Each structure stands twice: as structure tokens, then as C-alpha cells.
Structure 1
Amino acid sequence: MLLKTTILLLLLSSLLTSATAQVYSATEPLAHTFSIVARDPKTGEMAVAVQSHWFSVGTSVSWGEAGVGVVATQSFTNKSFGMRGLALLKSGKTAQQALDELLSTDEGKAVRQVAILDAKGNVAAHTGQKCVDYAGHITGKEFSVQANMMLSEKVWPAMAKAFEQSASLPLAERVMAALNAAQAVGGDIRGKQSAALLVVRGQATNAPWEDRLIDLRVDDNPAPLKELDRLLRLHRAYKHMNAGDLAVEKNDMPGAMREYQTAEQMFPENLEMRYWHAITLANNKQVPAALKLLQPIFKQEPDWRTLTARLPKVGLLTVTEAELKQIMALK
């Protein structure tokens, strides 16, 4: 891999006519890739999603801030474009104005590829003339798709089509559809390695820790989009788990049972989801049903039995002494 990367750098450096030091450094990784920035007009949510044959592409390419916008910076990546782009948007610049300012002082812009979307849905994109073929972008209504070093010129048109045709889906699933469409027509000429998905609120709140709605990365995987899709579904399932926990806090046991059961149905192999569904059943006077769920869990992972004995002390298991003995006696 090191030899291949060295050869690639040598070949590409021969294309450059100026500012070699500005084009590549250890802090500006080669993220030849395909990505999408997009906004949901109904919710205001903004997303940036990416896949590449490069390690941990999400730490370099994708940037976003609630109420501000999202940025994808790739090809010979200038990582500063992420934070600087968001700062420009925050200062009141439009997506195009921010992009123009970033590129105005960039001596390596010929090998850059950048897309910016602001909180109003304005988009701007740039594909430098020395980005490696096949490379290009398409901007549409509240989205931009861009790609470089692709197997064919079909990649970014396929992404745009998939995004536009999936308008009924949540934003995260729409951008995933675009990434999968890119891969279906060949994707990155080098193959697959990593992917990332970031979704932020359309408006910032007083709880900034909740403003990143989805933040998922697959840093190294032979099928990164398949794994990213699994993580997104798991994320959705755990939202139901969190809702169940909140219901427990409010002593709404029927509500908690509904949420835990929904999560379990989404990922039935997940022991934790099955476990809390069982505990909620027990708390709702459905101990026989709880026992059926708990028995295989205890058999597979005995530590869950140990945890169960600790729950009555903190009020998370409200069964009688006799019922607790039944639970603990499971084999």
C-alpha cells in the first residue's frame, strides 16, 4: 500500500505546475472519493456522506455544524476547508461566497474537490481541472454530489438520480441511497475501504450535544457501505432503546415495553435489547414471558444474571422476592 501510494504521488505530482508544498502533506490526505452534501427541506436537517478507498475518510472529508451547514473536502484534501468553510457560513456568507473565498487563496485548487451546503439549502461545488479522471460534480436542489478518481463518468449522475428519486425517505437514508448508487456503477477505481455519515440539525439548539443527530464512521472495512447501512439501522434501533429508558425514568412501563420491543424486533440478535425488553415485561407483571426471554440470555452470557440481581436495589426491577428467585433460578 505504501509503495502504491508513493507511485501515485509521484505520478500526480508531475501534473502540478505550482505550489507543490500546498498540494499534499501529511495533514492533507489523499481522499479520492465520492460524496454528497444535502438538506431535507421538510426538517432542515443537513447531511454529508462519503465513501473512499482510503483509511478513515470521515475524519478528513466530512464536516458539519447544526444551523450552519456541511462541507465535503476531498481529492488532495485541504482539511482546513472544513472548519474554515463552516466559519465563513457562520459569519453570514452563502455557500458560494464561502467556496469562492476558500479557493481564492488556495494555490492547490487545481487538485481540490469541494462541496458546501448552507443552512438555507444553497449549494456550491468545485472540481479542479487536475483532479484525476473520472471526476466531476452535479449540483441540484439543496444537494451536491461529487466524485474523483472514479471508474467511470456514470458515478455522480447515478448519485444525483438516486437522491432525487428517494425523496420520500429520511435524509440519512437518501444520502445512503446516493452512495450505494455510486458503488453500483463502479465507484472508486481503487475499490472500497471506508465510509462516513454525518447528519446535523437545521437549527442549533441550547443543547449542542444533541445537535449531531447521526455521526457514524466505518474506518476500515472490505464492504464499508454495507457496514455503514447496518450501523444506521442499529442507530435507529438504539433510538428506541433510549426512548424506552426515558419512559422508565417517567415510570411509563407500557411505553418502555413498546420501545424496547420495537428495538428488539429491529435487531433480535442483540442481547441487550432482548434483555431490557424482558425486564420491562417482568416489571409489567408478565414474569412468565420475561422468563422465556431471559433464560437463553443467561445461558449465553451469565453476567446478565449477575446484573439482574443488582437491579432491584435501584428500582429498575420491581418484582416480588418470589419472582426474583424464579428469575435467578433460570438455567
Structure 2
Amino acid sequence: MKKLAFLFCLLIPFLGKSQGLEGISQDDFAHTFSIVARDTVTGEMAVGVQSHWFSVGSIVSWGKAGVGVVATQSFVNPAYGPEGLELMANGVPAEQALTQLIEKDSGRAFRQVAFLDANGNVSGYTGENCVEAAEDLQGRNFSVQANMMLNADVVPAMAEAFLKYSDYPLAERVVEVLKAAQAAGGDIRGKQSAALVVVGPERTNNAWEEKKIDLRVDDHQDPIEELSRLLKVNRAYDHMNKGDLAVEAGDMEKALKEYGTAEKMFPENLEMKFWKAVALANSGRIEEAKPIFTKVFEADKNWKEMITRLPASGILTISEAELKEITE
């Protein structure tokens, strides 16, 4: 670590905020391990990353639906993210796009970058001055890369895990890759932050549709396990959102199915219990809903007030007498 600190001090006089792809930014110092990958069935693309650095997801991971994903790390130049995605959006394949940006980057010896485009083309680069153990490895529809690792086993372990968990959904598959990296030794400095971004296969003009999953763990003792937990929560709330849409459409059977699935994933979550009970009540199954409402109200009385406000919005479609039965 003293040698690393000395190296960094030597570099500081030459560092400045990056303008485009010129120079190295002294504020963007993210030695890490990451993966960019594509699911050949769904067309989804993902970036997963972990580092012993605060908020690694804010500078390393980039993605755009229907275009591609980027991981830019080591002495990070964040311009690789937006500029790489712009090139790929204009039809430049991943390898050509990365090469083009590296060639004009005076700090390329310190960079580690990976590009993957919507066609599954992938490219990685590790500058000669990246701190060992540093390596990138590409396979069909993925690239894994790492620098400042405890040993040289990390990157091969990541590639092996990506192939091993081929039957997993892409997001869960990426998390398994990160777990494998950590199990193989991980960052020599330890653990601090992690991130996961998943984008879809089709382009969109709506900013809110760009990322299907966007999770960050900025500071945690075990960031990959926390990322894994958040992914499970994310999946559960996907079902909650589908349930909400079903309620909006008046399809209470579908709403009940979606809310029920979410509740099974997190059986102690009051929100999930409450909306499942609402769906039951709206389906005429008041007697089934009552004990669920009772349990929720006992745990938090605010939900009892909440239910009295729903009929006016049309979300709860039971009679006044039935509402009184539930709340008394």
C-alpha cells in the first residue's frame, strides 16, 4: 500500500480533470473487478462491479438500452462511458469503438475498460501500468476484467462462473460472477462498494425505461451480499408493480397473483401483505382478507388509516359495510 500511495503521489502533478479522453482524473480512482455481459435469449445487457472504493457504481458502470454497456476502471476516465455508448449507438462495433477511444487517450497506460454492444460484440483493454494482478478476458457475449487483485485467479474464476450459471437470469448470473471473484481473492484492499446495471435489448426514447435494473451499494462491509439482497428485493417489487398495474386495469385476479408472489419472497413485508389483502377484498374474498389486514394493522396502525383513504381513489372497491368490518 505504501508503494501504491507513493505511485499516486508521483502521478498527482500530472493529473487533472479529464476533458474528453485526455489525461487522468485524480478524483476517479477505482481499482476493481467487473463484468459486462449479454443474455443471448433476452438480449439484455449488464454491468456488474465491486471495489474497495466508495460509490464505485457512480463512475465505472454505464449502459444504454438497445446500444450496449461499458465498464471503465483503474484510473477511471468516465468519458469512456458516454462516448463509448454514443459510438456504439451510431453503429460502431464494440472493439472498434474501444480502440478508437484508447488511441486518443494519453492516459491509456493506466486504464482498464470493457465494451459490449447490442449485437454481442465485446472488447476489453488493460493498460500496461494497471496495478497487478490485472487482466481482462473475453468470451462469447461477455468480458471480465480486474486490477489490483489479490492474485491472478480472480479473472479466470469470473469467466468460469459466467459459463457455469448460464441458466440464471442475467442479473443473478452477474452477481454470481462477482461472488466468484471475491471467493477467488478479490480486491487486495478488501471490499466497500458494488453496483449492477441491466438494460434492455430495444432502444427507448423514455429516460425512465433505460435501465431495467439499477442497483448500487455505495458503502458496506459486504457489498456483494448486499447487492444480492437488493436484487431479490428488486425482483419482489417488480411483482408489486405488476400488481399495481393490474389493479389499475381492474384485473384483481392478476393483481392477487402478483402481490402473492411478492409476499412469498418477503413474507414479513407489511406493504406486500397489505396489497395482497386489498386484492383479495376487491375479488370478493373479504373473509380471507380480514386476518391479513388485522395482522398488518397490529404491526403498524397507519395502515388502518391508509385503507380508509382508498375507496375515494377507486383502488379499494368494497362497500362501506365491508370496510367497517375490516377496520373494526
**TM-score normalised by length of structure 2:** 0.94
- Does residue 10 (structure 1) correspond to residue 10 (structure 2)? The answer is no
Q: Percent identity?
A: 56
What SS does the aligned partner of 2:247 have?
A: helix
Q: Which residue of 1 aligns with 2:36?
A: 37
- Compute the displacement of 1:206 (Å): 5.0
Q: Which residue of 2 aligns with 1:24?
A: 25
**Amino acid of the structure 2 residue aligned with 1:11:** L
- Compute the displacement of 1:8 (Å): 3.7
- Does residue 158 (structure 1) correspond to residue 157 (structure 2)? The answer is yes
Q: Which residue of 2 aligns with 1:226?
A: 225
Give 5+ residue unaligned stretches, structure 1: none
- Aligned runs of 1:222-301 on 2, under 5 Å? 222-301=221-300
Q: What is the CA–CA distance in structure 1 between the aligned matches of 2:246 and 2:304, rounded to whole Å? A: 23
Q: Is the 8 A contact 1:244 1:256 kept in 2?
A: yes
What SS does the aligned partner of 1:117 have?
A: strand
- Does residue 123 (structure 1) correspond to residue 122 (structure 2)? The answer is yes
Q: Which residue of 2 aligns with 1:75?
A: 74
- Compute the displacement of 1:62 (Å): 0.3
Q: Which residue of 1 aligns with 2:19?
A: none
Q: Which residue of 2 aligns with 1:57?
A: 56
**Amino acid of the structure 2 residue aligned with 1:24:** S
Q: What is the CA–CA distance in structure 1 between the aligned matches of 2:220 and 2:14, rounded to whole Å? A: 34
**Amino acid of the structure 2 residue aligned with 1:57:** V
Q: Is the 8 A contact 2:66 2:200 kept in 1?
A: yes
Q: What is the CA–CA distance in structure 1 between the aligned matches of 2:105 and 2:141, rounded to whole Å? A: 26
Give 5+ residue unaligned stretches, structure 2: 17-22
Q: Is the 8 A contact 2:48 2:194 kept in 1?
A: yes
> What is the aligned length?
322
User: CA 1:126–1:19 in 2, change beyond 3 Å: closer, same or farther?
Assistant: farther
What SS does the aligned partner of 1:268 have?
A: coil
Q: What is the CA–CA distance in structure 2 between the aligned matches of 1:111 and 1:102, rounded to whole Å? A: 14
What SS does the aligned partner of 1:36 have?
A: strand
**TM-score normalised by length of structure 1:** 0.93
What SS does the aligned partner of 1:98 have?
A: helix
Q: What is the CA–CA distance in structure 2 between the aligned matches of 1:13 and 1:87, rounded to whole Å? A: 34
Q: Is the 8 A contact 2:53 2:192 kept in 1?
A: yes
- Compute the displacement of 1:113 (Å): 0.3
Q: What is the CA–CA distance in structure 2 between the aligned matches of 1:20 and 1:169, rounded to whole Å? A: 42
Q: What is the CA–CA distance in structure 2 between the aligned matches of 1:302 and 1:223, rounded to whole Å? A: 34
Q: Is the 8 A contact 1:35 1:147 kept in 2?
A: yes
Q: Which residue of 2 aligns with 1:202?
A: 201
- Compute the displacement of 1:65 (Å): 0.6
**Amino acid of the structure 1 residue aligned with 2:130:** C
Q: C-alpha root-mean-square deviation of aligned residues, in Å?
A: 1.8
Q: What is the CA–CA distance in structure 2 between the aligned matches of 1:19 and 1:105, rounded to whole Å? A: 17
What SS does the aligned partner of 1:146 have?
A: strand
**Amino acid of the structure 2 residue aligned with 1:92:** G
Q: What is the CA–CA distance in structure 2 between the aligned matches of 1:166 and 1:19, rounded to whole Å? A: 43
Q: Which residue of 2 aligns with 1:322?
A: 321
**Amino acid of the structure 2 residue aligned with 1:25:** Q
